[in-house]
């Protein structure tokens, strides 16, 4: 599985040993007219928030400050910005992954 040290933005450093065990695997899918991130699978710290992921995508795609990233879980609902990835994964993860969809406009209400 592809590793995502970039996703940490250097904010936390993890030792190679605990890295895989403690992190959560997320799958990022573009939807609508948003640029595609080629690398779809990332691993993130379970305590990172939805807004952290949104900022990460925003930065990665070099979007304008005026543009917004919306995130959806399994094409159904938009989690709150302060929700943590662990809670979403525990309730909505499938096959060891949390599937997230991102776009620049509201997609699924």
Residues found near other proteins in the complex (CB under 8 A)? 51, 73-74, 76-82, 84, 87-88, 90-92, 106, 109
Report in angstroms how near the CB of residue 91 gets to other proteins at its nearest.
5
8/83 with CB nearer other proteins: 83
> Residue 20: which H helix or E strand, with range?
helix 16-22
Token pair in block for residue 25: 């695997």
Residue closer to other proteins by CB (options 25, 73) is 73
Query: Could you tell me the smallest distance in angstroms from the CB atom of residue 73 to other proteins?
Result: 8
Selection from 91, 90, 72, 93 nearest residue 81 by Cα: 72
């Amino acid at each position: 599985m592809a590793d995502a040290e970039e996703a940490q933005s250097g904010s936390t450093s993890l030792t190679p040993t605990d890295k895989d065990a403690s992190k959560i695997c997320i799958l990022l899918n573009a939807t609508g007219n948003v640029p595609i991130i080629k690398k779809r699978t990332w691993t993130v710290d379970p305590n990172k928030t939805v807004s952290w992921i949104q900022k990460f995508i925003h930065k990665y795609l070099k979007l304008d400050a005026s543009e917004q990233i919306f995130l959806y879980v399994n094409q159904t609902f938009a989690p709150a910005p302060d929700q943590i990835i662990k809670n979403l994964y525990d309730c909505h993860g499938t096959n060891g992954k949390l599937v997230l969809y991102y776009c620049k406009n509201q997609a699924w209400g």
